[in-house]
Amino acid sequence: MITDHLPVLQVVIPLLAAPLCVVLRGSFAVRQFVKVVSGLTFLCSLLIFTHVTRHGAMGYELGGWQPPWGIEYRVDALNAFLLLIISGMAAVILPYGTRSILREIPREQHHLFLAIFLVCVAGLLGIAVTADIFNVFVFLEISALSSYALIGMGRSRRALTAAYQYLIMGTIGSTFLLIGIGLLYMKTGTLNMADLALRMPPPHESSTVIAAFAFLSVGVSIKLAVFPLHTWLPNAYTFAPSMVTAFLAATATKVSFYLLLRIVFTVFGVGFAFEAMHLQLLLPPLALAGIFVASTVAIFQTNIKRLLAFSSIAQIGYMVLGLSFGTATGLTAGIVHLFNHAVMKSSLFLAIGCVSFALGAVDLRAMRGLGRRMPFTMAAFLIGGLNLIGIPFTAGFVSKWYLILAALEQQRWFVAGFCLLSSLLAAVYIGRVVEAAYFHDPDPQLTARPVPRGMLAPLWLLTGASLFFGIFTSFPVGAAQRAALLLLGGAP
């Protein structure tokens, strides 16, 4: 049945569609084509998600080779949720992008741009779906290389240096990952993640495994932009085309976070990571420092894209903090925030993309008086900002609730206190933009061109989702709780 092939179709559809884009060439045709492809991809992950929720994990043996010899795709409660996020984001952002690239990418490059974009989507989906750790590396490189290209296609020439900076850091990260995988293979002779977990020697017997853990976690942390390995992120997000920033902010770091979860909990296990490697002591200082430093830096930014990029680094800190508790509540917090942050940050970047489309500028000065000139866009930005602060009735509140609850459960009062304080920092940096937009008079020299409905609709879809999931929380919270239980070795 087709259902059995869904895991592989999930990756194959966008991967094969990419060269077709190049064949099609014409800007209009390609732009319609990618919408269809993204819809199909989303449908695929929707089917997978419902199947996994009803019947438990799905496996797929590539080429009929049984694991652990062949490559296995395996979808469980955690990555089914992640697939849904990635393909959902692609399905919302691509229709937006088919408008926004009109002003950002030369027409004759549209087909190349969108082809690379689909490759990037395929790479991210591949990382999520595969159960083979070397295959993870391959897909990571696919998504990384394509994202370097996507960032480099930004309008400003500084996009090139940003992409180059990302390339250097990203390559270091992938190399670390490869070294880690090599060490593990040397010690266990297998690459299947479930199999690796079974054959993992106890930590006190093998310093090789400890080295592998170090390489893998640092490598992923670079990709994830954990403070202080975040240096590539602000420039990359600032200078990339709007739709690329929104998509990468919503998915790329999330996939890296997923990878960190998989490596820590599935491959090495809670015992190894928390009792032998003391992640619960190692990560919180980094996460908290990241939250505070990045939020503080965000306050002083005048370029709004850059401001949101620093905010992303801070938000990654929250996710890592959730992971560092190593408890069911902590993991739930991390995974819920993965979902919520994907929704809210992409909506914020889409809103800024609309501003960029209308004015051609995204600095604080350009934002003045926009509350009246672009009411729909700025209302969406305002709601996204409230999400970041964690105001009740928004999705951000739910993340914060679980995060602080997890800290209280372990009686880490200071961590709980810091989380709360940091949300006040978010209130300051969002407040600056909102004040400029709603309380200052517009700059008369800037003329705003109207934003097409095709861009506003995806923006409001995401904004609506961030409100919807802030009120009816059962879907993200339920999915996150199932995933957290799975990672900690519980049912499904």
User: What residues make contact with another protein under the rule CB under 8 A?
Assistant: 386, 389-393, 398, 400-401, 404-405, 408-409, 416-417, 420-421, 423-424, 427, 435, 439, 471-474, 477, 481
Q: Shortest Cβ distance from residue 381 to another protein (Å)?
A: 15
- Whose Cβ is closer to another protein: residue 36's or residue 421's? 421
Q: Which is nearer to another protein, 118 or 336 (CB)?
A: 336
Going by C-alpha positions, the residue among 217, 319, 226, 328 that lies closest to residue 268 is: 217
Specify the residue, 244 or 398, whose C-beta has the smaller distance to another protein.
398
Please, which residues bridge with residue 75 across strands? Answer: 58
314 φ/ψ sector (left φ>0, alpha ψ -120 to 50, else beta):
alpha
- Report the b/e string of 36-75 with b at 16+ CB within 10 A: ebbebbbebbbebbebbeeeebbebeeeeeebbeebbbbb
61 vs 409, which CB is nearer to another protein? 409
- Judged by CB, which is closer to another protein: 420, or 461? 420
What are the E-state strand segments in 80-167?
A: none
For another protein, the closer of residues 285 and 392 by Cβ is: 392
Residue 171 Cβ vs another protein, minimum distance, rounded to whole Å: 41
Compute the least distance from the CB of residue 466 to another protein, in Å: 16
If the CB atoms of residues 112 and 382 are measured against another protein, the closer one turns out to be 382
Q: How far is the CB of 413 from another protein (least distance, A)?
A: 9
Cβ(258)–Cβ(338) below 8 Å? yes
Q: Where are the beta strands (DSSP E) in 344-444?
A: none
Q: How far is the CB of 425 from another protein (least distance, A)?
A: 11
Q: Is 474 exposed, middle or buried (0-12, 13-18, 19+ CB in 10 A)?
A: exposed
| Bridge partners, residue 60, by sequence | 73
69 vs 472 by CB, closer to another protein:
472
Closest approach, Cβ 56 to another protein, in A, equals 21
Contact 452/353 with Cβ under 8 angstroms? Answer: no
In angstroms, give the least distance from the CB of 86 to another protein: 26
Cβ burial of 28 (10 Å; 0-12, 13-18, 19+) is: exposed
Q: Which is nearer to another protein, 201 or 392 (CB)?
A: 392
Q: How far is the CB of 242 from another protein (least distance, A)?
A: 28
- Which amino acid, one-letter code, is at 470? G
Q: How far apart are CA 343 and CA 335, in angstroms?
A: 13
CA-derived radius of gyration, the chain: 21
Q: Are 406 and 330 in contact (CB under 8 A)?
A: yes
Residue 257: CB atoms within 10 A of its CB come to 25
- Least distance (Å) from another protein to the CB of residue 66? 39
CA–CA gap between residue 374 and residue 357 (Å, rounded) = 12
